[in-house]
């Protein structure tokens, strides 16, 4: 009894000393997101979406995925573009606020962990070096590192590279800047691997299709996109 009393007192004291507060309502507590804000986020994340491209859609497979033959197999989306998480992901990915990573990963863990199938390898979605340098870090790599550690999956940031030629930086379904690291793939086999590509935003499926196509060509069994925010407004225009 006295032990329990001391334990409760100790927990209360730790809560007061705990420097963390909820990222949304700023109430002081242990986790990056408090219980009631997490409940709201969970409600936000329950939207109907296309299983393949992750776009908000009322049926399992959207019209464009019904006709297009994407090289990836599935897209797991944490939130859509109306979610309360959008400013957090924006602060992390656009403004280089690395501290938001803890909030994002906590939301991913609490909302999506049980629905994500295990993978053999995580690949951070490649981006140009100058973008990473201006932000201060490669956001997809930070996601791959920390998330990979949590689910005990290895990551590789060198397998798919992006060409730095400014002429190829404009993405299109036909011309894309992605390539496999030929030196690495000669020693590192991905045959029969279940691969996840992790990225903060997914605007359209084309670039992910190109990356998945390369991975499948080198023997990957399945490719799943792990997306924080699925933004489809530009795609629909
Ligand atoms: Zn809160
Ligand atoms: Zn679709």
Q: Which ligand is nearest to the CA of 61?
A: 2
- pLDDT for position 229: 95
Tens-digit pLDDT profile for residues 171-187? 554 567 898 988 888 89
Tens-digit pLDDT profile for residues 69-103? 999 999 999 998 889 999 999 999 999 999 999 99
Q: Which ligand is nearest to the CA of 32?
A: 1
Cα-to-centroid distance, 68 and ligand 2 (Å): 9
Number of neighbouring beta carbons within 10 Å of residue 193: 17
Cα-to-centroid distance, 176 and ligand 2 (Å): 21
Closest of 201, 200, 197, 199 to residue 231, by C-alpha: 201
Tell me the angle at which helices 100-112 and 139-151 cross, rounded to the nearest 10 degrees. Answer: 50
Q: Which residues surround ligand 1, an ion (CB under 5 A)?
A: 22, 24-25, 34, 37
Cα-to-centroid distance, 34 and ligand 1 (Å): 4
Closest of 228, 170, 231 to residue 204, by C-alpha: 231
The model's pTM is: 0.86
> Hey, which bits of the chain come out as E strands?
74-80, 121-124, 160-162, 178-180, 194-202, 222-230
* Residue range 27-39: mean pLDDT, rounded: 89
Tens-digit pLDDT profile for residues 119-161? 999 999 999 888 999 999 999 999 999 999 999 999 999 999 8
């Amino acid at each position: 009894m006295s032990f329990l009393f001391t334990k409760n007192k100790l927990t209360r004291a730790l809560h007061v000393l705990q420097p963390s507060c909820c990222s949304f309502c700023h109430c002081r507590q242990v986790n990056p997101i408090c219980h009631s804000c997490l409940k709201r986020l969970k409600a936000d994340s329950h939207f109907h979406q296309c299983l393949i491209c992750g776009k908000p859609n009322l049926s399992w497979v959207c019209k464009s995925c019904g006709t297009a033959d994407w090289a990836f197999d599935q897209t797991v989306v944490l939130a859509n573009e109306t979610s309360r998480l959008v400013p957090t992901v924006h602060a992390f990915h656009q403004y280089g606020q690395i501290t938001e990573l803890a909030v994002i990963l906590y939301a991913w863990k609490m909302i999506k962990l049980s629905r994500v199938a295990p993978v053999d390898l995580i690949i951070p979605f490649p981006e140009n070096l100058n973008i990473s340098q201006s932000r201060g870090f490669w956001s997809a790599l930070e996601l791959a590192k920390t998330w990979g550690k949590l689910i005990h999956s290895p990551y590789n940031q060198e397998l798919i590279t992006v060409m730095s030629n400014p002429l190829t930086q404009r993405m299109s379904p036909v011309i894309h800047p992605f390539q496999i690291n030929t030196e690495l793939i000669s020693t590192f086999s991905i045959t029969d691997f279940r691969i996840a590509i992790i990225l903060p935003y997914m605007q359209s499926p084309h670039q992910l299709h190109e990356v998945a196509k390369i991975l499948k060509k080198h023997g990957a069994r399945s490719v799943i996109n792990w997306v924080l925010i699925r933004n489809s407004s530009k795609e629909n225009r």
